Structure 1
Amino acid sequence: MRVSVVIAAYNAQGYIAEAIESVLGQTVPPDEVIVIDDGSTDGTRSVLERFAGRIVALTQGNSGQAVAVNQGLALARGELIGFCDADDLWTARKQELQLARLERDGELDAVFGKVQQFVSPDVPEQQRARLTPAVEIMPGELKQCMLIRRDALMRIGAFDETLPATFFIAWLGRAKQGGLKTAHVDDIVVRRRLHPGNGGRLHTEAQNLQTLMALRKAIKAQRPPE
């Protein structure tokens, strides 16, 4: 089965190369890697140019991560879809382990795995304590921890572009209500980088509001028509 990986990037010049290398360097590499530059104003584009011939890289006007991810999905040709955030890292066997699980069980729609959070080495010492996670390793129901069959993803529908910070939470809620069949591998598949630029850590009030909006949409969708 062909695997397409989608990465959305915005002002990610410090981390995007390492993220891409972690995807390309898999023990079972993906068939295509699509990076959507969401209107970066730093050197992200010049970093992407170093991967010419190894990735598909496109630039759009700054529209938010959900729009960028949906754009990448529209271009993807694989039967399976994976995601990586521009500042995170796939562990070397992520795709190998998840692909094997999906191949063993044709009834499964998607496979997740564990995530390990780490404070980025470039974070100044005076900021490290604030960013240090309470839990380092946990089950990862995050888009970057998921490998999913394309037809299952499309059955649930595209990501909600009105929820730029919590679009995956909203999508996963819809997916679970729609009977998405999932499994988890008991391995760390993603290393999630923590740094001052993490949107959720800088804008917690906005993220909390969007999470509430996503939950309200999910509840409303469950109600029978009046």
Structure 2
Amino acid sequence: MHVSVVIAAYNAEAYLAEAIESVLGQTVPPFEVIVIDDGSSDGTRGILDRFGGRIIALTQTNSGQAVAVNRALATARGELIGFCDADDLWTERKLEMQLSLLEGDSDIEAAFGKVQQFVSSDVPEAHRARLAPAVEIMPGELKQCMLIRRTSLMRIGPFDETLPATFFIAWLGRAKQSGLKIAHVDDIVVRRRLHLGNGGRTNTEAQNLQTLLALRQAIKARRPQE
């Protein structure tokens, strides 16, 4: 089965190349890697140009991650869809392990795995304790950990563009309500980088508000229709 991978990037020049290489360097390589520059003002576009034909590079005016991901998904051609954040890293056997799970059971619609959180090496010592995760390795029901069948993604519908930071929480709540069949590989599939640019760590009030809105939507979706 062909895998399309989507990466949305905004002012991501510090970590983007490493993220892309972690996707291209899989033991089972993806069919295509679609990277969309969400109106960056730094050197992100130059990073994409260096990869040439190894990736599909798109550009849009700054509209937020949910809009960028939805636009990239509209161009994806694979039967399976994966995601990577521009500052995170896939472990090298992520696709191999998740493909084995999906190919071995046609009832499974989406595969997840464990996530390992780490403080980026470029974070100054004075800030490292603040960013240190309470739990290093945990189950990862995160966008970047998911490999999903394209048909299942289309059945659930697009990401909510009114929730630029927490759109995946709302989407996953809706997906589970619709009966999405999920399985997990018992291994680390993503290394999540913690750094000073993480929106959820540096702008916690806004992040918490969006999380509450996303949870409200997920709860509303679970209520029986009147």
Q: TM class by shorter-chain length?
A: over 0.9
Q: How far apart, in 1, do the equivalents of 2:122 and 2:222 lie?
A: 45
Cα deviation for residue 218 of structure 1 reads 2.3
Q: How far apart, in 2, do the equivalents of 1:76 and 1:91 lie?
A: 22
After TM superposition, the structure 1 = structure 2 runs for residues 200-211 of structure 1, keeping only pairs within 5 Å, are 200-211=200-211
Q: How far apart, in 2, do the equivalents of 1:154 and 1:15 lie?
A: 30
Q: Which residue of 2 aligns with 1:196?
A: 196
User: TM-score, with normalisation over the residues of structure 2?
Assistant: 0.98
Q: How far apart, in 1, do the equivalents of 2:91 and 2:115 lie?
A: 10
Any runs of at least 4 consecutive aligned residues in structure 1 with deviations exceeding 3 A, and if so which?
222-226
Cα deviation for residue 223 of structure 1 reads 3.2
Structure 1 residues 46 and 104, CA, compared in 2 at 3 Å: closer, same or farther? same
Q: Which residue of 1 aligns with 2:23?
A: 23
Cα deviation for residue 222 of structure 1 reads 3.2
What residue ranges of structure 1 are gaps of 5+ in the alignment? Answer: none
Q: Which residue of 2 aligns with 1:125?
A: 125
Q: Which residue of 1 aligns with 2:221?
A: 221
Q: How far apart, in 2, do the equivalents of 1:143 and 1:220 lie?
A: 21
Q: How far apart, in 2, do the equivalents of 1:29 and 1:70 lie?
A: 23
Cα deviation for residue 225 of structure 1 reads 4.4
Q: Which residue of 1 aligns with 2:91?
A: 91
Identity of aligned residues (%): 81
Q: Is the 8 A contact 2:160 2:171 kept in 1?
A: yes
Letter in 2 for 1:114: K
Letter in 1 for 2:183: A
Count of residue pairs brought into register by the alignment: 226
Q: Which residue of 2 aligns with 1:3?
A: 3
Per-residue CA deviations over 1:49-86 (Å, capped at 9, x if unaligned) read 00011000011000000000001100100000000000
Q: How far apart, in 2, do the equivalents of 1:25 and 1:222 lie?
A: 39
Letter in 2 for 1:221: A
Per-residue CA deviations over 1:148-169 (Å, capped at 9, x if unaligned) read 0000011000000000010000
